[in-house]
Amino acid sequence: MVTMMKSYKLTNEEKEIEKNIENLRPVSGSKRRQIDKIITQAKKSRSISLRISNFDLEKIKEKASQEGIPYQTLINSILHKYITNQFFERDQIIKSVKLISES
Using alpha carbons, select from 13, 14, 12, 83 the residue that is nearest to residue 42: 83
Residue among 84, 81, 100 nearest 92 (CA): 100
Judged against a pLDDT cut of 70, whether residue 6 lies above it is answered with no
Band of residue 28 on the pLDDT scale cut at 50, 70, 90: confident
- pTM across the whole model: 0.49
The reported pLDDT for the residue numbered 4 is 56
Confidence tier at 53 by pLDDT (50, 70, 90)? very high
Q: Could you tell me if 63 and 74 are in contact, meaning their C-beta atoms sit under 8 angstroms apart? A: yes
